[in-house]
Amino acid sequence: MNLFKNLYKKAVYHLKRYFRRVRSHKSIYKNNVNVKLLQRLHKKRVPTLKQLGKIQRLLSPFEQTIFRIASVVFLVGLVWFTVGIIDSKRVHVAAQGGQYREAVVGSPQLINPLFASLNNVDSDISRLVFNGLMQYDENQKLITDLAESYEVSEDKKVYTFTLRDNVVWHDGEPFTSSDVAFAIKTIQNAQVNSPLMVSFQGVAIDTPDPKTVQFTLSEPFAPFLSSLTVGIIPEHIWSDVGPDRIRLAKSNLQPIGTGPFQFEKLKKNDAGYILSYTLARNENYFATKPYLDEFIFEFFGDYDGLDGAIQAMREQKVDGLDFVPYDLKDKVERKHIVLHTLQLPQYTALFFNQKNLPALKDSKLREALALSLDKRRIMRSTIGDNGQVIHGPILPGFPGYSTDEMKTRDYSVEKANDLLEESWEKISGDTYRETLLEERLKEWDKSQKASSSTEEELASLREEAKKEVENQLNTELQEAQTFYRQDKKENVLEIRLVTADTKEYRQAAQMIAGFWQGIGVKTKLEFIPAKNMVKDVLKDRDYDVLLYRMIVGSDPDLYPFWHSSQTKYPGLNLSLYASDEVDKLLGSARETSDPEEYGNIYKQIQEKIFNDVPAVFLYMPTYTYATTDKLQGYTFQRIFIPSDRFSGVTSWYIKEKGKWQF
C-alpha cells in the first residue's frame, strides 16, 4: 500500500512538472500573442481534457514516454487507494455454506444416546444429532438446551422443567414432554441394558402437560442436572421397538433427533463397512442454525500408514482429525493444520481383577506391583510431557482433589521386593526354564504311550520335541528376567496383562511388563484390537490386569466406577472392587448438596481406594484435536468427553462474506 502511495505522489509530481513546462514554453506562452489572447478570453490556467489530448505535440518522444508511464501509475494508484478505502470499511464475517470432513478411526455402531457412551464414534455423531434437556456451554457451564427453564424443590428431590415451544424432530413431528419421559424410562429398563441406567435409578417421571416434565428423586443427588445432558430420543420412532430389539433397529444408524445436523446418507463398501457418514444442516433447528451445510465423517482403520487418517489429513482430503496420537503428532504438524490441545478429565490406569486371578487378592502383592512402576518414565515414553502423573481416581479440578493431603507411592523396587518376600520365594530363571522343559517333555511322553514306534524312533522324536519345546521357551520367557516368584505350592506368579492394540498402550504395557519382570513377576501381554475391546474384554471382564483409559466426564460422581453394584457390564467398575465402606460413602456423596461436605466425602473415598490398591493410577493425558486452518469459529480449550469438541459447532464456518462497517 505504501509503495503505491509513493508511486502516486511521484506521478502527480511529474504531471505538475510537465504542465509548468507547457505553460512556460517560450514559443507558445511568451512570443505567441494569440495564445495570450486566448488565455485572457477563457480566464483558465488549467488545461481542458481536449487540450490534454494534444499535449503530446508539445513534448519530445522521451517526455511522451515518461508522461504515459506517470499517467498509468497515477491511475493504478488511484484505483488501489480507492480499494483500500473500501476494504477498510468492510469486515469478513461467517457465511452459510461449505462442507467439513472429519477423519475418524473406528466406525459407527449405535448412534443412539442410550448406548453412545460405549463408542467414541457413536458419541461424536450423537452429539450433533441429538439434544438433552441440559448442555455444557463453551465455558463448561451447565445451561438449558431443550428445556427453557427449570426449578428445584427445597429438599433437592424434585426437578421441574419447562420445555421450549419451537422444537421439532428432524422428521417434522413436534417435541413434547412425553418424548423426555419415554427416553428416560427406556434408559431405566433393565432389558435395554443402557450404561446410563445407574444415573436414573429410583427416579420417577411425570408429565403434567406437553411442555412440562417433572423428575422426583428418592434421595437428593447433587450431579443430577449433569445427567440430563443425555440426548432425548423420539417416542414416535422407538415406541414400537421392543427393549430386547432396540439395539437392532434401523434407526440406530439413521437416527431422528432435534440437533443442529440431521442424517442425510451413509456410504458402505462391499463388505458392509461404513466408509462415510453425512449429516446435513437442520433448517428447522430451534437455536442458532449452523453455518456449515454438511458435516461428513470419514472412517479409517488406523491413524498411521498410507491409507490412514493422518495421511488423509496431510493430503487435505479431510478438514479435521478426531484425535492426534501423541507419538504421531510430528506427522500431523503442517502449515495448513491447526492443533488444538484440550484439557480432558480422563486417566490411564491398571485395573486388578481379583476374581480372575486369586493371587491378586493379596493386598501386599498389589502394593508391590504398584511400587515397582516408575509412572513418570512410563508416561514420558508413551505420551511425552503431554500429561500429568496421578495417584488416585479424583482428577484436578474435581471435588475432593487436594495435592496437600494426597497420599502417593514413590517408585521403589526394594520395597516391592520386601513385600513379595513374605509370600513369594525366588527361583532362578535357569531353574524355572528346566522345570518347564521337564514338565512339557513328561506330557509328550504320556502322549506317546500308545505309539507303535520303536525305541530308537521314539528317542529321535523325543529329541525333536525337546528342540521344539526349547524354541517355545525362548519365545515365551524373557532372557532379561533372571528370576521368578513362586508360592509355597510352587505355583509361579504369572499375570496376564490385557490392553488395546495401539502404539501408546503397547509401549506402556511393554514397560510395565519390564518393571514387573524386574521383581520376578512373569507377565504375559495380550493386545486386542481397539474396536473389539468392549465385546471381547470389558463385557466378560476377561483379564488379570487391564491397562485402560477411563473417561470421567463432566459428572464428578465416582459411583459408576467404584460402587460394588457396577462390577458387571455395562458397569464401569473394572477392578470388580467391593468395599462396604466405599459403597456407603458413595451413597452419602450422592445425597449431599453441600460442596464442602461433598469434597470431604470424596477425600475419604480416595484414601480408602489408595489403601486397598484395586488399581494403579498412572497418568492423565491431554487431548489433541486437529483441524484445517480454513475452519474458523473454534474456541474450546477444556472438554469433559471427546465429543464435547462439538459443543460450539453451530459457530464453525469455512465460508466468509464482506460486511460494511461505518
Q: What is the pLDDT of residue 92?
A: 67
Q: How many helices and strands, by DSSP H and E, does the chain display?
A: 20, 23
With 50 as the cut, is the pLDDT of residue 82 above it? yes
With 80 as the cut, is the pLDDT of residue 493 above it? yes
Regarding whether 550 and 634 lie in a shared domain, the answer is no
Nearby residues of 621 by Cβ (< 8 Å), 6 or more positions away: 326, 344, 346, 348, 383, 386, 387, 549
Residue that is last in its domain, among 18, 53, 88: 88
Q: Please provide the size of the chain in residues.
A: 662
Regarding whether 149 and 281 lie in a shared domain, the answer is yes
Q: What is the pLDDT of residues 249-307, one digit of tens each?
A: 999 999 999 999 999 999 999 888 999 999 999 999 999 999 999 999 999 999 999 99
CATH of the domain at 411: 3.10.105.10
Please tell me the pTM assigned to this model: 0.68
Query: Of residues 55 and 450, which shows the higher confidence score?
Result: 450
In a domain, 126, yes or no: yes
Regarding whether 648 and 606 lie in a shared domain, the answer is no
Name the one residue in this structure whose C-alpha cell is 422444537.
Answer: 167
Contacts 24+ apart (CB under 8 A), 427-431: 427/483, 427/484, 427/485, 427/486, 427/492, 428/482, 428/483, 428/484, 429/477, 429/481, 429/482, 429/483, 429/484
Q: What is the pLDDT of residue 30?
A: 47
In a domain, 483, yes or no: no
CATH of the domain at 212: 3.40.190.10
Average confidence (pLDDT) over 608-635: 93
Geometric angle at alpha carbon 88, from 83 and 89, rounded to 5°: 100
In a domain, 450, yes or no: no
Q: What is the pLDDT of residue 160?
A: 97
In a domain, 528, yes or no: yes
Q: Do the Cβ atoms of 2 and 51 come closer than 8 Å?
A: no
Regarding whether 501 and 635 lie in a shared domain, the answer is no
Average confidence (pLDDT) over 422-451: 87
Q: What residues pair up with 350 in beta bridges, in sequence order?
A: 547, 616
Distance (Å, whole) CA 93 – CA 316: 24
Regarding whether 50 and 73 lie in a shared domain, the answer is yes
With 50 as the cut, is the pLDDT of residue 118 above it? yes
Q: What is the pLDDT of residue 447?
A: 83
Query: Of residues 440 and 548, which shows the higher confidence score?
Result: 548
Q: What is the pLDDT of residue 8?
A: 58
- Could you write out the three-class secondary structure of 437-506? HHHHHHHHHHHCCCCCCCHHHHHHHHHHHHHHHHHHHHHHCCCCCCEEEECCCCCECEEEEEEECCHHHH
Residue that is last in its domain, among 36, 66, 88: 88
Regarding whether 368 and 302 lie in a shared domain, the answer is no
Query: Of residues 320 and 12, which shows the higher confidence score?
Result: 320
Q: What's the domain count of the chain?
A: 3
Q: Which among 22-26, 452-456, 613-617 has the top mean pLDDT?
A: 613-617
With 90 as the cut, is the pLDDT of residue 56 above it? no
Distance (Å, whole) CA 346 – CA 351: 15
Of all residues in the chain, the percent with pLDDT exceeding 70 is 88
Q: Do the Cβ atoms of 98 and 653 come closer than 8 Å?
A: yes
Phi, psi dihedral angles at 289 (to 5 degrees): -75, 145
Which triple of cell numbers denotes residue 441? Answer: 517333555
Regarding whether 397 and 373 lie in a shared domain, the answer is yes
Lowest-pLDDT range of 55-64, 129-138, 184-193, 317-326:
55-64
In a domain, 412, yes or no: yes
Domain range for 47 is: 2-88
Average confidence (pLDDT) over 570-589: 93
Q: Do the Cβ atoms of 391 and 617 come closer than 8 Å?
A: yes
Phi, psi dihedral angles at 206 (to 5 degrees): -135, 145
Distance (Å, whole) CA 338 – CA 631: 9
Query: Of residues 219 and 372, which shows the higher confidence score?
Result: 372
Distance (Å, whole) CA 497 – CA 351: 10
The amino acid at residue 290 is P
Residue that is last in its domain, among 38, 63, 88: 88
Regarding whether 212 and 129 lie in a shared domain, the answer is yes
With 80 as the cut, is the pLDDT of residue 26 above it? no
Distance (Å, whole) CA 214 – CA 203: 10
Of all residues in the chain, the percent with pLDDT exceeding 90 is 57
CA-based end-to-end distance of the chain: 21
Nearest Cα to Cα of residue 233 among 171, 286, 290: 171
Q: What is the pLDDT of residue 29?
A: 45
Q: What is the pLDDT of residue 45?
A: 59
Regarding whether 107 and 39 lie in a shared domain, the answer is no
Average confidence (pLDDT) over 533-555: 90
Q: How confident is the model at residue 570 (pLDDT cuts 50, 70, 90)?
A: confident
With 60 as the cut, is the pLDDT of residue 557 above it? yes
Average confidence (pLDDT) over 472-481: 84
Q: Do the Cβ atoms of 497 and 545 come closer than 8 Å?
A: yes
Nearby residues of 423 by Cβ (< 8 Å), 6 or more positions away: 362, 364, 365, 487
Q: What is the pLDDT of residue 28?
A: 47
Average confidence (pLDDT) over 213-235: 92
With 60 as the cut, is the pLDDT of residue 42 above it? no
Phi, psi dihedral angles at 281 (to 5 degrees): -60, 130
In a domain, 465, yes or no: no
Regarding whether 46 and 193 lie in a shared domain, the answer is no
Average confidence (pLDDT) over 571-594: 90
Phi, psi dihedral angles at 300 (to 5 degrees): -130, 155
Phi, psi dihedral angles at 244 (to 5 degrees): -80, -10
Q: Strands (DSSP E) along 446-521, which ranges?
A: 483-486, 494-500
Q: What is the pLDDT of residue 37?
A: 54
Regarding whether 192 and 277 lie in a shared domain, the answer is yes
Nearest Cα to Cα of residue 570 among 534, 620, 608: 534
Lowest-pLDDT range of 35-39, 145-149, 323-327:
35-39
Helix (H, G, I), strand (E, B) or coil at 228: coil
In a domain, 407, yes or no: yes
Paired sense of beta strands 494-500 and 522-528, if any? parallel
Query: Of residues 308 and 30, which shows the higher confidence score?
Result: 308
Q: What is the pLDDT of residue 61?
A: 73
In a domain, 529, yes or no: yes
Classify the phi-psi angles of 131: left when phi > 0, otherwise alpha if psi is within -120 to 50, otherwise beta.
beta
Q: Do the Cβ atoms of 228 and 143 come closer than 8 Å?
A: no
Q: What is the pLDDT of residues 348-379, one digit of tens each?
A: 999 999 999 999 999 999 999 999 999 999 99
Q: What is the pLDDT of residue 40?
A: 57
Q: Do the Cβ atoms of 483 and 427 come closer than 8 Å?
A: yes
Question: How far is CA 69 from its chain centroid?
Answer: 60
Regarding whether 293 and 412 lie in a shared domain, the answer is no
